[in-house]
Amino acid sequence: MAAILSPSMLAYEDDFLLIIDKPAGMLVHPTVSERGTTLYDYVKAYYEANGIDAGIHPVSRLDRNTSGLVIFAKEPIVQHWLSQQQVEKEYLALACGRFDYSEGIIEAPIARKEGSIIERCVDYERGKYAKTAYEVLAAYSSCTLLKVRLFTGRTHQIRVHLASIGHPLVNDNLYGTPGPQARHALHAYRLAFKHPVSDVFLEITRALPEDLQKLLY
């Protein structure tokens, strides 16, 4: 099946940047075992179909099962310029249980869990500094909808931090309790930054996808 970038996935584009709303279940970059169905492949096919002569340089990345906004620069220098500034990254997350406070900050170092190449954990001896802020948006019978902001970019940071305070993501089969849905309840919904070429402040948002909205009860 050909990789086709649907109009609903296109969040923003100009001569220097492309921002895509990635669906859950899709890798950002090809691997040895998976090619042709990654977000990179979709962007490449989009360029070819529209006669766009540009590079595909990721500025941000998401886990396979996290949906939401991903930035690609069309030139290496634009990728470099963006990497030098603090891009505001905010997520919508469904966490298990109810929170005692309406907002909070988690500062706990994260390291790779011993014996695993994938799993991370809070580790005050080996870990690297990590900071996550959260705000409660709504509480439901068995879960809470959060707005989460990253101040650092450690692997699985939101998942590890929320699990460390007893509120893992809904359906997180690595750090919480597996659920009926194939993916954890995390969506990268907002990016905000100064355009590296025009200096215009950009704010791009995408609503919670339908599959996660169905979990709000």
Handedness of CA 56, 60, 62, 68 (dihedral sign): negative
Residue type, 100: D
Catalytic residues: 63
Of all helices (H) and strands (E), which one includes residue 76? helix 76-83
- For 170-203, letters b (16+ CB in 10 Å) and e give bbbebbbeebebebbbbbbbbbebeebeeeeebe
Encoded tokens for 123: 């580790």
- Residue 150: closest CA among 159, 137, 138: 159
Q: Which residue has the tokens 């948002």?
A: 205
